[in-house]
Amino acid sequence: MKVHLRQVPTDGLHIEGEQDSGILELNDSGISPSSPVRYSLDVGLSDGGLFATGRLEVDMQMRCVSCLETFTDVIRINDFACQIELTGKETVDLTPDAREDILLALPAHPRCDQGELAGKCKPEWPVSSPGDVAEPESPKVWGALDQLNLKQKK
């Protein structure tokens, strides 16, 4: 996501496109990108800096921490914003800032029943309502202690 400064007019520039998902540099076996990073950004110049605002999106394949099934979800950053100080170079790379925002939006413990995928992950036992769950019979673990005769001697 490199922006050539000479191509940015005074009233700003709108850029859209896709970037290879390799920019995310994910080393997690439970989360991997399944599409390129899509972006739609408005960029402009102000006071010796370049600003960019817009939207980032990438499809991610994740493993549910509950059922261990693999599912795909979309990570969307609708309010991406960054300000980069100009250092005299002809191009400015927005990739590190975009990468950081996407990585911060990833769930720490992905579940297939959260967000847009609500209801996919099912419990291991059939439960129609919370009151229908019967508590298992526990053995009388205190039965031997109930039999003790603990009278104090005087």
138 found inside a domain:
no
Q: How far is CA 60 from the centre of its chain?
A: 9
Measured CA to CA, the distance from residue 64 to residue 137 in angstroms comes to 31
136 found inside a domain:
no
153 found inside a domain:
no
Question: What pLDDT shows up at residue 137?
Answer: 57
The 3-state DSSP composition of the chain as helix, strand, coil percent (nearest 5) reads 20, 35, 45
Residues facing residue 83 across a β-bridge: 51
Question: What pLDDT shows up at residue 5?
Answer: 79
75 found inside a domain:
yes
Q: Quick one: DSSP state of residue 27? A: -
131 found inside a domain:
no
pLDDT in tens, the chain (154 residues): 788 878 888 888 898 999 898 888 888 778 889 999 999 999 988 888 889 999 999 999 988 888 888 888 899 999 999 998 888 788 888 899 999 999 999 988 888 876 555 556 655 545 455 555 555 555 667 777 777 777 776 6
Question: What pLDDT shows up at residue 131?
Answer: 55
Question: What pLDDT shows up at residue 30?
Answer: 82
Helix (H) or strand (E) holding 75: strand 70-85
Helix (H) or strand (E) holding 144: helix 143-146
98 found inside a domain:
yes
* Domain of residue 48, residue span: 2-118
Residues facing residue 93 across a β-bridge: 2
Q: How many domains are contained in the chain?
A: 1
**Positive or negative: CA dihedral 129, 109, 71, 117:** positive
69 found inside a domain:
yes
